[in-house]
Amino acid sequence: MARGDAQVQREAMTSPARQAEAGTRTWRVIPAPHATSLDEADAWAYRGIAEVESAAAIEEFGDDDIAPRAIDVLVGMNHQDYIRRERLVAVVADPDRAPRVVGHGVLFLPMADNRHRADVRVVVSPKHRRRGIGTALYEPLRRRAQEEGRTTLLGDVDFAAEPDAGAPDALRPPSGNGSVSAALPGVAFARRAGLDLELVGRRSVLDLPLPDGAAERFEAEARGAAGEAYRTHTWVDEIPDAWIDQYAALEERLSMDEPNGGLDLEPEHWDATRTREVLARIAERGQGFVVTVAEHVPTGELAGMTQLVYVRDRLAFTDQESTVVLPAHRGHRLGMLVKAVNLQAHARLRPATRRIYTWNNEDNAHMLAINVALGFRPAGGSAEMQAKLADLPAR
Ligand SMILES: CC(C)(COP(=O)(O)OP(=O)(O)OC[C@H]1O[C@@H](n2cnc3c(N)ncnc32)[C@H](O)[C@@H]1OP(=O)(O)O)[C@@H](O)C(=O)NCCC(=O)NCCS
């Protein structure tokens, strides 16, 4: 962290009076020390952040599939060209051991584009909530976002299930698509801080293995509709150099076209360098990926792609990442084609995997329709909260 450190440290030492009222052991908020490897003594902070994330995920979802691991935190901190990160941890001192992390906060500052924006994430271990720790982590980060000249603050809150239709605490975004409980701790916390619900994302899960022949049938139907003008290529852990520029163009298109409701997001700029950077980080985090693209044969243009990413030593689940089809090639079932082919490649590579997760904005009707047809079922989502920084009250 740069110039905010001294300020954060000073504030951290004056923990809120509420903590004494609550009669808890003493905690304080400090900048997370940076370790360049998980073997270093200072890596306690990144390990602690992962433990807090895991405990919070288990509390909400019953498992920690969604939680970042210590290696994810480390790799993000070691590579900040595209997104700078400022991290705070709430710690309880332990005289015999490294400090115990009971909460963490992180500010993500996009550097290549979207420089008007800062994304904040605050997580407190379930046993330590409602003692002011979340606020003590959030406030300095909000101020840092402002000091950095950012104007929009975003935060998302993951949840395991939408409220029942008509539930009195159900909160809907302006689009009316999807809902979240206003009583969810993260939503209550963010609204109190002045952020509004802008969009609801749907998390879906596909149970594996698929019924015998299902992916093959989807592929055959989609190939029938797409015709001879398109062929697919599938790549594992690499994007061949000959295709990297076109692949980057697909990522850029996705950032332009994905429906984002009222979220204040600019299109991202993608090129071969950025794509290689992302792929290198996947490898560094101990992850692998499989990609299927559709090539428009007459022009040699990449018309669409889809990517599945998995943690090599966690066989149970895989994450569905980007899927996109260029506007000129939509309407030919290419989204279904690349997904059906990729699922078969994934089944050959990772036969023991039991589920695939995907995230879609509730406004993204076409993508949701493909996923529902493939057998994805709703499994909660994320509430995307947003505010103009100038409108936020200081506490
Ligand atoms: C959201 C979260 C970080 C809050 O941490 P915390 O340490 O409990 O927060 P604080 O004690 O500082 O709460 C500040 C205020 O937020 C509101 N709030 C927080 N949790 C709430 C809840 N469960 N229900 C209603 N209001 C709540 C209250 O107004 C609270 O003030 P009060 O306790 O005086 O009434 C914590 O619940 C959490 O980790 N949730 C899961 C992760 C998440 O959703 N993070 C938000 C993503 S950015």
Q: DSSP labels for 284-348?
A: HTTEEEEEEEEEETTTTEEEEEEEEEEETT-TTEEEEEEEEE-GGGTTSSHHHHHHHHHHHHHHH
* Higher per-residue pLDDT: 258 or 29: 29
Ligand 1 mean position, distance from CA 135 (Å): 8
Is the CB of 105 within 6 Å of ligand 1? no
* Lowest model confidence (mean pLDDT) among 42-46, 120-124, 151-155, 367-371: 367-371
Residue of 89, 101, 123, 189 to test ligand 1 pocket, by largest number of atoms within 8 Å of CB: 189
* Lowest model confidence (mean pLDDT) among 9-18, 75-84, 111-120, 315-324: 9-18
In this predicted model, what pLDDT tens digit does every residue of 173-215 receive, in sequence order? 999 999 999 999 999 999 999 999 999 999 999 999 999 999 9
> Residue 261 has what pLDDT?
87
Per-residue pLDDT band at 307 (split at 50, 70, 90): very high
Judge whether 312 and 349 are in contact, CB under 8 Å: no
CB count in 10 Å sphere of residue 184: 19
**CATH, range 5-203+384-391:** 3.40.630.30
Tell me whether residue 30 is exposed, middle or buried, using C-beta atoms within 10 angstroms of its C-beta: 0 to 12, 13 to 18, 19 or more. Answer: middle
> Residue 13 has what pLDDT?
34
The conformation of residue 166, written as its DSSP 8-state character, comes to T
Question: Which protein residue's CA is at the shortest distance from atom 21 of ligand 1?
Answer: 185
Mean pLDDT of all residues in 45-63:
98
CATH topology of domain 209-353: Aminopeptidase (3.40.630)
Judge whether 185 and 385 are in contact, CB under 8 Å: no
Q: What angle do CA 111, 117, 123 make, to 5 degrees?
A: 100
Ligand 1 mean position, distance from CA 264 (Å): 24
> Residue 2 has what pLDDT?
29
Distance, in Å, from the CA atom of 99 to the CA atom of 5, rounded to the nearest integer, reads 19
Residue 225 has pLDDT above 90, yes or no: yes
Same fold, 5-203+384-391 and 209-353: yes
Residue 109 has pLDDT above 80, yes or no: yes
**SS3 state at 353:** coil
| Amino acid at site 108 | F
Per-domain residue ranges of the chain: 5-203+384-391, 209-353
Is the CB of 70 within 6 Å of ligand 1? no
* pLDDT more than 70, % of the chain: 93
**Helices in the chain by DSSP H: which ranges?**
5-13, 17-22, 44-61, 70-78, 133-147, 185-193, 214-226, 244-257, 272-284, 334-349, 365-374
6-20, 69-83, 84-98, range with greatest mean pLDDT: 69-83
Distance, in Å, from the CA atom of 314 to the CA atom of 72, rounded to the nearest integer, reads 14
Question: Which protein residue's CA is at the shortest distance from atom 25 of ligand 1?
Answer: 188
Distance, in Å, from the CA atom of 25 to the CA atom of 19, rounded to the nearest integer, reads 8
Cα dihedral across residues 129, 200, 279, 236: positive or negative: positive
Residue 16 has pLDDT above 70, yes or no: no
